[in-house]
Amino acid sequence: MSGTSFRLFLMAIVLTGLAAPSFAHHSSANYDTQKEIVLKGVVTAWLWSNPHCVLSFDARDATGKVRNWSAEVQNPTNMTSRGWSRRSFTVGDMVTVTLKPGRDGAPIGLITTVLLPNGHALYASGPETAGARSTPAQR
Amino acid sequence: MRKTFTISILASAAASLVTALALAQTLPWNNPGSEQSPVESEASRRSAPAPKRDLSGIWDAGFAGVAPTGQNTVAPLTPLGERIGKTHRSGDGSRVVAVPQINDPLSTMGDPAGFPRTLLFELRPFQVVQTASQVLMLQMFEKRWRVIWTDGRALPRDPDPRWYGYSTGKWVDDYTFVVTTIGTDERTWLNNAGDPHSNELKVEERYHRVSRGTMELTVLLDDPKIYTRPWIGRDRLQLRLMPADTDLMEMIPSASEAAEYRRLMAAPRK
């Protein structure tokens, strides 16, 4: 990568960091942050709660088996700022999840992105395409 | 090609930031707050004079209020402080452990964050309301409120500890409000790094209204049983005034949600 490209890359990292608040509850020490895997599966649950929101889905993974994965993002406060909501997922949705897997081989992960059935993507940190849901104040 | 790729990443990240700003600004209900959400221009914020003896409004420290790894200004611990600190297994900071080993009472049991942890961790937007004899601080995190008495009463002597202590406050000049708090419950952690405190902790908060739209918060902690000297936990943390009609989200750690999270993410699985 050339010097100009590298500087641009660093600026992108900084800007992304400004838009993505850090973990409020725990660090990413549970996860292999040097690795990223992509799983396609069916949503079984979407937990929109503190301390972290958790997407559960059945997916066939590197073990060759279909396992129920639990992958987390940050709390609802932080995720609302990123355009996620309680209604982002419905049980039965087919999703493609990019995540950093747990270090011990358990089916857990730290979400990077989720590709929704309608083709839109939700980003745990990075560009977001889904608008935040809001209820206009009645006047 | 590579330059095009990196420029694309830069543009996407910039778009993400702009979108996040716009979302935080435009949500009339369930606003999550955001430091990056300018409620007025920087020049306007700095130039509009501060009202005298008035902290009223909704204030947002933005992401700087979260402080997930604790404070890096922590004073050295006494031997008692070391012993207590070693029993705390935190989610982040100097005592970080894997999620299944965390024993943080806030995140694992839904205990109150307590004071001064609500200043040193997850300091989300809070609203200040002033009455004739009180300053009330209504906090988005945990949806708690604090009562700071301004009627001149003395702090109690040897009080029963409370999760959020006992607070009195006074104006030291027309723009600086100083709060003193004692009697906090030693079961709470000082911050998300698991730094300990005793029930003899004394906390001083200094709110300095710089302009109409900006306030600075400094927090001084004095706990000779646990720390070898007083230390500053927040040093002129910038607080920005949000629009008066902002409806804040609820952000309430609950025991049942904490249990469900641990069932999904911390229980042994294959």
How large is the average pLDDT for residues B71-97? 96
Supply the pLDDT for residue B63.
87
How large is the average pLDDT for residues B160-167? 98
Sign of the Cα torsion B14, B16, B20, B22 reads positive
How large is the average pLDDT for residues B134-160? 97
How large is the average pLDDT for residues A28-44? 93
Supply the pLDDT for residue A28.
80
Supply the pLDDT for residue B248.
93
Q: What is the rounded distance in angstroms from the CA atom of residue A96 to the CA atom of residue A92?
A: 13
In order of their start, the domains of chain A are 3-123 (2.40.50.140)
Per the model's pLDDT, the better-predicted residue between A83 and B39 turns out to be: A83
Interface check A13 vs B, CB under 8 A? yes
Supply the pLDDT for residue A128.
35
**Encoding tokens for residue A4?**
């100009």
The residues, any chain, with a CB within 8 Å of residue A12's CB and separated by 6 or more, are: B6, B9, B10, B12, B13
Residue type, B57: G
Q: Of B211-220, B230-239, B261-270, which range is least confident?
A: B261-270
Residue among B190, B202, B204, B220 at smallest CA distance from B94? B190
The residues, any chain, with a CB within 8 Å of residue A63's CB and separated by 6 or more, are: none
* Contact at CB, B257 and A49, closer than 8 angstroms: yes
State which residue of chain B sits closest to A71, comparing Cα positions.
B265
Q: What is the rounded distance in angstroms from the CA atom of residue A58 to the CA atom of residue A69?
A: 6
Nearest chain A Cα distance for residue B123, angstroms: 11
**Encoding tokens for residue A108?**
């857990």
Supply the pLDDT for residue B111.
94
Per the model's pLDDT, the better-predicted residue between B47 and A15 turns out to be: B47
CB contacts of B9 in chain A (<8 Å) are 8-9, 12
Q: What is the rounded distance in angstroms from the CA atom of residue A86 to the CA atom of residue A74?
A: 13
Q: Name the packing angle between helices B2-26 and A3-19 (round to 10°).
A: 20
If contacts are CB pairs under 8 Å, which of residues 32-91 in chain A contact chain B?
47, 49-52, 54, 56, 67, 70, 72, 75-78, 80-83
Instruction: Give the tens place of pLDDT for each residue, B106-125.
Output: 999 999 999 999 999 999 99
Supply the pLDDT for residue A73.
97
Instruction: Give the tens place of pLDDT for each residue, B197-207.
Output: 999 999 999 99
pLDDT at A136 over 70: no
**Encoding tokens for residue B35?**
């430091």
Residue B66 pLDDT level (bands cut at 50, 70, 90): very high
* Contact at CB, A50 and B254, closer than 8 angstroms: yes
How large is the average pLDDT for residues A56-78? 95
**Encoding tokens for residue B40?**
């007025």
* Contact at CB, A26 and B96, closer than 8 angstroms: yes
Residue B6 pLDDT level (bands cut at 50, 70, 90): low
Distance in Å from the first CA to the final CA of chain B: 42
* Contact at CB, B17 and A19, closer than 8 angstroms: yes
Q: How many CB atoms lie within 10 A of CB A91?
A: 11
Helix (H, G, I), strand (E, B) or coil at B6: helix
In contact, B170 and B150? CB cutoff 8 Å: yes
Computed over every residue of chain B, the mean pLDDT equals 89
Residue among A51, A75, A56, A53 at smallest CA distance from B102? A51
If contacts are CB pairs under 8 Å, which of residues 119-138 in chain A contact chain B?
123, 126-128, 131-132, 134-137
State which residue of chain B sits closest to A21, comparing Cα positions.
B63
Per the model's pLDDT, the better-predicted residue between B154 and B8 turns out to be: B154
Q: What is the rounded distance in angstroms from the CA atom of residue A11 to the CA atom of residue B156?
A: 53
pLDDT at B80 over 80: yes
Residue among B18, B219, B128, B117 at smallest CA distance from A24? B117
pLDDT at B235 over 90: yes
Please give the interface size between A and B, counted as residue pairs whose CB atoms are below 8 Å apart.
Answer: 171
Supply the pLDDT for residue B33.
84
CB contacts of B251 in chain A (<8 Å) are 50, 75-77
Strands B144-149 and B166-173: parallel
Per the model's pLDDT, the better-predicted residue between B16 and B86 turns out to be: B86
Q: What is the rounded distance in angstroms from the CA atom of residue A120 to the CA atom of residue A38?
A: 16
Supply the pLDDT for residue B115.
98
Paired residues of B97 in beta bridges: none
Nearest chain A Cα distance for residue B224, angstroms: 28
CB contacts of B98 in chain A (<8 Å) are 29-30
Q: Of B22-26, B91-95, B120-124, B220-224, which range is least confident?
A: B22-26
Interface check A117 vs B, CB under 8 A? no
Predicted complex: ipTM over 0.85: no
Q: How many CB atoms lie within 10 A of CB B79?
A: 8
Q: How many CB atoms lie within 10 A of CB B223?
A: 26
CA angle A5, A10, A16 (to 5 degrees): 125
In contact, A84 and A73? CB cutoff 8 Å: yes
Q: Of A53-62, A64-73, B5-14, B158-167, which range is least confident?
A: B5-14
Nearest to A50 among B33, B36, B251 (CB): B251
Question: Which residue ranges make up each domain of chain B?
Answer: 1-30, 42-265
Instruction: Give the tens place of pLDDT for each residue, B206-215.
Output: 999 999 999 9
